[in-house]
Amino acid sequence: MRKAIFVSAIVAMCVAQPPPAKPDAAPPKPATPPRPPSVYSNPRAGASDPRIGLKAGLTDAAEVAWGMVRVATIPKPPGFAHGNNAVSAPEPPSDDPNNTEPRRPSLQFGSTNSDLAFSGNHVFVGNYNGINFYDIDNPADIKLRTSLLCPGGQGDVSVHKNLLFMSAEAMNGRLDCGAQGIPLPAGYKPPPLPKPDPNAAPGTRPRRPPPPANPDRFRGLRIFDISDISRPKQVAAVQSCRGSHTHTLVVDPKDKDNVYIYISGTGPVRQKEELADCSGDDPDKNPETALFRIDIVKVPLAHPERAKIVNSPRIFADEKTGAAAGLWKGGTHGEGTQPTSRTDKCHDITVYSAIGLAAGACSGNGIVLDISNPANPKRIEAVTDPNYAFWHSATFSNDGSKVLFTDEWGGGSQPRCRATDPMHWGADAIFTLDKGKLTLASYYKMPAPQTDKENCVAHNGSLIPIPGRDVMVQGWYQGGVSIVDFTDASRPFEIAYFDRGPTDANQRGSGGHWSTYWYNGYIYGAEIARGLDVFKLEPNEHMTQNEIDAASQVRNDVLNVQNQTKIEWPSNFITGRAYVDQLERGKALSAERIDALRKSMADGARTNPRALQTLAASLDRDAATAKSSADAKRMQALAGIFRTVGRR
């Protein structure tokens, strides 16, 4: 297997910079006003929100934060950063059928930072040009360890032991990770964009024909051996028909010898001259089409070079007829609704092996999969939403009773958080999940209106492990970072945020937080244009220091957010104090009871074990009459802590 190009801390390449962006024009207004949502949608922030009107600038933009503080930022290194002539793959056309306005280039600031993965004291930052490895032993003073130059967009990453996985989808990807791209034949002229097919399925858009086939092109899943983190070595390159836009690492607890990777490809299907058996025809013309499926790669851990696609399940098939195109056909849901993309692919799949399920955000549908057999997932639920343009990603609550989906309205490159944009479009949709069935409960959208120079829409995030609550930190591109509490699925609300001004005051620029994830006490944010940000939580009226301390107890050796793991908290008084603060905030117990609980925990070992058992029994009685199920669970968990400590 050919090796990737890498350097320690520095890389530089030379290509022409993209042309200046043209002035922005307002997108066409919808033919009819948006239909009001059928469930709760959080309100837009008022004119006094400090995020409004922040000064623009790539390196000197104004910043504002509440409930969190930025502790460090490290810019993208040479070869990836603005002004370093970074090799940059063109962003693929959006699959959002709403994007009917002419495509205009945004200002680009180097190559795009994308997703994050963590292992030990390292964070791996994906990028359209490759991966940067950072040492986060001291999160306030992060250090670049290695830069792996390997263009191919989009650079989605995950890690398992000594193996690092990376998605590649763009046409400039090479098998050898070379930065020179794929040369076109002499005299070649790209064909024009085809005219829309009047007989095409609703929600589909014409794609420009791909460039000529080339045996050196790579689109699929790369696998690197990082046993020596300063010298990563490509050990496998698994080609796929649509490339890999994202991927999901799946660990089967019953199979210690292999891991599985679910490839979600969203790009155009390759010519059969480049990769045999690839077809982009609809299934009525070719039942073996590469559309309407995902690809599953089996990776033998002892021999990763033998990795290969072992299944391409038709997870969108009609349950009765078996027809591959069995879910949303594309188009609108009636007047005042979103044109929703056709379901012929997934954008992201999140697996939660502890409950045996996966949630797929699959262009026109949100789906639930049974992954008891990881190599052969089975769809058990599918929902649509008239307010969704393109189902993008999914996150389970820790107890598995809720799923938060995101909608990438505008494809990520458009401003979709303006004061004129509906709050239930381009938002999170929060569903309850009961016995495999999804029920819509509410919408949440970052509430501060942004300018028309800022690409903004719901994007990637992770749970923050505050016990007793469902809290998620999330990137909104240039809408910044928003932390949402969705413990009550019907009333989500913002509890903290961070925001910067636009990358440019006069032209739309590509920037903001692609992914923001909690890892071992800190929040890490992949900023598209500016680099890597690190944040810490700070107490405010919605979040106490005790809750932050309890969350910071949770430690992970590895984190791949799309491979969600169950959060467990130590049964100690650090955790218990967080529950007490929540019970006080919700007025679930009297002030006298709250004081007594705090005194018992403050006295610690001096408290009579029998007294702790008595407190536990009283909390169990209180739980039976609690005004909410969330408070009842907090009381029961706190009772369990008193019993555990009382037995020590």
List, for residues 179-219, the tens digit of each pLDDT value: 999 999 999 988 888 887 776 656 566 777 889 999 999 99
pLDDT tens by residue, 441-493: 999 999 999 999 999 999 999 999 999 999 999 999 999 999 999 999 999 99
* Whether 114 contacts 104, CB under 8 Å: no
What's the confidence (pLDDT) of residue 94? Answer: 54
Once rounded to an integer, what is the mean pLDDT over residues 531-541? 98
- Label residue 130 left, alpha or beta by phi (over 0 means left) and psi (-120 to 50 means alpha): left
Of residues 101 and 47, more confidence is placed in 47
In this prediction, residue 190 carries a pLDDT of 86
pLDDT band at 99; cut points 50, 70, 90: low
Element (H, E) at 395: strand 391-396
Residue 190: Cβ within 10 Å count: 10
Mean pLDDT throughout 428-433?
98
Tokens linked to 441: 């409960």
| 463 three-state secondary structure | strand
- What's the CATH fold of domain 5-21+91-182+214-564? Methylamine Dehydrogenase; Chain H (2.130.10)
| Residue 120 near residue 520 (C-beta atoms within 8 A) | no
Reply yes or no on whether the pLDDT at 134 is more than 60.
Answer: yes
Q: Out of 364-373, 531-540, 608-617, pick the least confident.
A: 608-617
Mean pLDDT (the chain) is 92
Region of residue 162 (left: phi > 0; alpha: psi -120 to 50; beta: else): alpha
The C-alpha atoms of residue 141 and residue 489 are separated, in whole angstroms, by: 37
Record the pTM: 0.93
- At 13, the pLDDT band (50, 70, 90 cuts) reads very low
CB 41 within 8 A of CB 445: yes
Q: What is the average pLDDT across 243-247?
A: 98
Percent of the chain with pLDDT over 70: 90
Region 216-237 average pLDDT: 98
Q: Which of 531, 474, 532, 530 is nearest to 504 (CA)?
A: 530
- The pLDDT score that the predictor gives to residue 191 is 84
Residue 97 has pLDDT above 90, yes or no: no
Say if residue 564 is preceded by a cis peptide, omega within 30 of 0.
no
Burial class (CB in 10 A: 0-12, 13-18, 19+), 160: buried
**pLDDT confidence of 17, banded at 50, 70, 90?**
very low
| Rounded-to-integer distance, Cα 424 and Cα 422, Å | 5
Q: Lowest mean pLDDT: which of 3-17, 43-57, 329-343?
A: 3-17
Is residue 88 scored above 60 in pLDDT? no
Q: What is the pLDDT of residue 93?
A: 47
Extended strands (E) in 353-414: 357-362, 365-370, 378-383, 391-396, 402-407
Going by pLDDT thresholds of 50, 70 and 90, the confidence category of residue 436 is very high
Residue 24's pLDDT is 46
Closest CA to 165 of 295, 252, 262, 254: 262
Nearest to 86 by CA among 156, 185, 155: 155
Residue 212 and residue 184 in contact, taking contact as beta carbons nearer than 8 Å:
yes
Is pLDDT above 80 for 98?
A: no
Q: In the chain, how long is the greatest CA-to-CA distance?
A: 87
Residues 525, 531, 537, 541: what is their CA dihedral angle, to the nearest 10 degrees?
-90
Reported as a single tens digit per residue, the pLDDT across 362-420 is: 999 999 999 999 999 999 999 999 999 999 999 999 999 999 999 999 999 999 999 99
Chain centroid to CA 358: 14
For the chain, first and last CA: distance in Å?
56
Average pLDDT over residues 270-295: 96
pLDDT band at 29; cut points 50, 70, 90: low
pLDDT in the model for residue 203? 57
Residues comprising the chain, all counted: 648
DSSP secondary-structure letter at 211? Answer: P
| In the chain, domain spans | 5-21+91-182+214-564, 573-647
Q: What integer pLDDT is reported at residue 193 of this predicted model?
A: 81
Which pLDDT score, from 0 to 100, does residue 447 have?
Answer: 98
Which residue from 25, 147, 159 is spatially nearest to 556, judged by alpha carbons?
159
The DSSP code for 80 is T
pLDDT value at position 3?
A: 46
pLDDT, tens only, 256-273:
999 999 999 999 999 999
In angstroms, the CA 200 to CA 284 distance is 13
| Whether the Cβ atoms of residue 159 and residue 124 lie closer than 8 Å to each other | yes
